[in-house]
Amino acid sequence: MSETESLAFEFACYIADRVPRDTPWTSVYDEMCRVVRSRAFRGMGYAELADVGISLSITGLDRTCRLLEEAWEAMSRAGSASPYAA
């Protein structure tokens, strides 16, 4: 996994830790937007996350959604929360 891919997956894990898997998609999207807008993840905003392949645009959400599903699955397999657990 490249550094860019790792950072994108790390963002997905950060979000997965903040919202349970069964959360309605609109709430997950709102949380992602809050995190990006406030630069809560490594000080990264929209442009920086777009550079690593995280998009919150309608046309770019497929990859972001796949990464989030992978993060939830990895957390489930590990039986524990991500490194971002509060």
Q: What would the pLDDT profile of 1-51 be if each residue is shown by its tens digit?
A: 788 889 999 999 999 999 999 999 999 999 999 999 999 999 999 999 999
Sequence-ordered alpha helix ranges (H) in 1-86: 3-18, 25-38, 46-51, 61-78
Residue range 47-65: mean pLDDT, rounded: 92
Angle between helices 25-38 and 3-18 in degrees, nearest 10 = 120
Contact of 14 with 35, CB cutoff 8 Å: yes
